[in-house]
Structures are given as structure tokens and as C-alpha cells.
Amino acid sequence: MYTANDPTRETLSAAIQHLQRGQYAAKRLRDLMSTLSSGSMKPLKEEEDGGGFGDGGRRSSPPATAADLVRDVIQSFNSTLMFLNSGGSDEVSQADAPPADCRKGAVKPEESEESCKSSVTGGSRGCYKRRKSSGSRIVVSNNHADDGHQWRKYGQKSILNNNFPRNYFRCTHKIDQGCRATKHVQKLSIEPPMYQTTYYGHHTCRNPVKAPQIILDESNPSDSSIILCFRAEKSPDTTAASGNGTHATNIPFSQPQVTPPNYAKLERTKEDSVSSEYGCFPTPNLTMFSSMTGSDQGEELSSDHSFHGDMDFVIDGIDFGDVLA
DNA sequence: TAAATTTGACCTAT
DNA sequence: ATAGGTCAAATTTA
């Protein structure tokens, strides 16, 4: 029920376009670098089809030099962040929002839900407080599945100004181990598939299945991912949010808008869908972390070895102009 | 049969 | 009043 003057949709669309452009530029840069390292000094030619990037980009006059491509990538991020910060997804920038109370109780966000609920006896339901993003981490990626934890879906909701329903997950070990980690997954686009995942709380569970700490295979340097770290206020509770490194669980995700009756059946094939997703998009992931503590950033960065040298973009305080200068 | 998912209802914040 | 987040019964899947 959004109105025409609601900026959110336009903002989101513009942000996605910028991200796609940056993805495309990064991919070209990757190819250029591999070309140079292989000794060939041929100018970069128009690469193979696809890249999940429509024709609206810069295919007509592709930048030829690495500097141009780097600039393109950075400008893409810069533009995206400006869009997001200026209106659309305020979650990215609202990390400093004060933690919401739970029924007047000064409880930390990660704990409030649980504590409130546990204080409710019998049949009446507990506290359904609306979350603030304090202590949350936002990840935007073309891969929503592999975050190293096991999740159980507990809800799905259509969100205003979003074409796709938001999916709600909690840690599988909430019951048996009292793990309070939750996450919301919002699909942003189909082509290319982009997901915004917001993590709340941190995992206190001990998952028996161990997962690799590396987001992408280090042995394949062509598979680059970009991690943007947005340092926000101190949020000591999120320290363990991503560090457990248990095995990835494939996350079910719904189809847009109309949920098919055999939705569950589709989800059961998530293993296949995830792998195919990787296959379709070998291009760089884009990952954004928000409201993370310094240690969190360190964990995330150190756990991602796929981005080396000149392409190590760590945004802290975000001033791309400096980089471009 | 246990575990996971779906989905409408419930509840709170705005 | 409405949107967002969660619950929990019903349903589906392994």
C-alpha cells in the first residue's frame, strides 16, 4: 500500500542497479587482473555474456583500465550507500538506534524477546516487540544460504514496499540450547538474486557440525567477495554472532508474493537450489555488515580470505571519496 | 514419527 | 490504524 511518492521502492531499485554495476565492474576487473597476471597485455575485451547484469550498464563503453574498473566498483558502493542512507533501507544506517525496551523492562534487544516470553505464563502470548536494528548485522548478498548456522523458519510476512515477503528464521537450537539468534531474510531482486539478511542476537548454541570459516573457496581466487564493514556503536553482545562457524544449513526461501501450495516441497530441494545459485552467479558476492563490533569485523574479515591485495575494501566510516582521490 | 514449514492470528510499536 | 515480528496449530516432509 505504498504511495507514488514513497521513496523506498525507487531507492531500493536504484541501489540494486548500482550494486549490479559494481558487481559487473568487479568481475571485469577480476578478468583483467587474471589477464595481466598471465602475461598477456591485451586490452580487456567485452567479456562473456551474463554477469546477471542487464543492458543498462556500461557495456556500451566498458572501462578498459584497472583504475577505471576500481573506480567503477567504488562508485557503485558509494552510490548505493548514499541511496540507502538517504531514505530507503534505513536499517543500514540506524545502527545507533536506542535499544527498544520490552514492556518497560530495560532489557537488551537480544535478550528481551526471550526474557519477556519466558515471563509469560500459560496461554497468553509474550512480548512481540518490534525489533530495532541495534546489535544487528545486515548482510546483502547474492547468496543467502550459507552463513554457517542452522536456522528454522518461523514466519513469513509481506513487507510494505517490498516485492518479496520477508522470511523469519531462528536458530534451530533455540529450544534445546536456548540459542537466541534470529535473522530476517529479505529478497531484494531476482535478477540477479540479491538477499538482505539481518541477524539479531548471537549464537550461544554449540552446533555439532563444523563449518568452514571461509565464505568462499580460497583456492579459487577468481571467486571474490566483497565485505563492507560498517562500524557502529559498541555492541558487545554480538561478538559470537558469526564466529561459531558451524556447518552451513541451506535456508529455505519463499517464492515471491504468491506462495505456491507446494512451497515446502520446493524448499526441500534447497540443496540443489543453492548450488545452482552459485553456479549461476560466480560473480562476486556483495556483503555488508552493519552494527558490528570491532571484533566482529575482524572475525568476518579474517574469515574471508578470498579478497586480497588491492581489492580489500574495508569501509569504516565510509568515505569513498578518499579512496577515489 | 519427529522435525521442519506454512500460515493465520496475535501482539506491540509507530 | 497499520506494519512488523512472533506464536502455534495444521500440514508437509524425511
> For A306-322, what is the mean pLDDT?
32
Within 7 Å: CB of A272 and strand C? no
Q: Which of A73-77, A119-123, A284-288 is least confident?
A: A119-123
Nearest nt to the A264 alpha carbon by C1': B5
Dihedral (CA of A217, A279, A298, A152) sign: negative
Q: Residue A320 and residue A325: Cα distance in Å, rounded?
A: 8
Specify the pLDDT at position A155.
Answer: 93
> For A99-108, what is the mean pLDDT?
34
Specify the pLDDT at position A92.
Answer: 38
Q: Chain-wide mean pLDDT for chain A?
A: 53
Residues 6+ apart with CB under 8 A from A108: A99, A135, A237
Within 7 Å: CB of A2 and strand C? no
CA of residue A153 to C1' of nucleotide C13, angstroms = 15
Whether the pLDDT of residue A114 is over 70: the answer is no
CA of residue A126 to C1' of nucleotide C7, angstroms = 9
Whether the pLDDT of residue A307 is over 80: the answer is no
Split at pLDDT 50, 70, 90, the class of A168 is very high
What letter represents residue A312's amino acid?
Answer: D
CA of residue A271 to C1' of nucleotide C13, angstroms = 15
Are the C-beta atoms of A166 and A184 separated by less than 8 Å?
A: yes
Whether the pLDDT of residue A169 is over 90: the answer is yes
Are the C-beta atoms of A33 and A296 separated by less than 8 Å?
A: no
Specify the pLDDT at position A156.
Answer: 94
Q: Residue A150 and residue A207: Cα distance in Å, rounded?
A: 8
Nearest nt to the A113 alpha carbon by C1': C6
Specify the pLDDT at position A15.
Answer: 67
Q: Express each pLDDT in A233-289 by its tens digit.
A: 333 333 333 333 333 344 445 444 333 333 333 333 333 333 333 333 333 344 444
Decide which of A253 and A173 is more confident.
A173
Nucleotides of C under 7 A from a protein CB: 2-8, 11-14
Nearest nt to the A132 alpha carbon by C1': B13
Q: Residue A131 and residue A196: Cα distance in Å, rounded?
A: 16
Decide which of A223 and A172 is more confident.
A172
- Going by C-alpha positions, the residue among A177, A202, A193 that lies closest to residue A251 is A193
Q: Express each pLDDT in A181-217 by its tens digit.
A: 899 999 887 777 788 888 888 888 776 544 433 333 3
Within 7 Å: CB of A158 and strand C? yes
CA of residue A266 to C1' of nucleotide B10, angstroms = 28
Q: Residue A7 and residue A265: Cα distance in Å, rounded?
A: 36
Are the C-beta atoms of A89 and A11 separated by less than 8 Å?
A: yes
Decide which of A171 and A276 is more confident.
A171
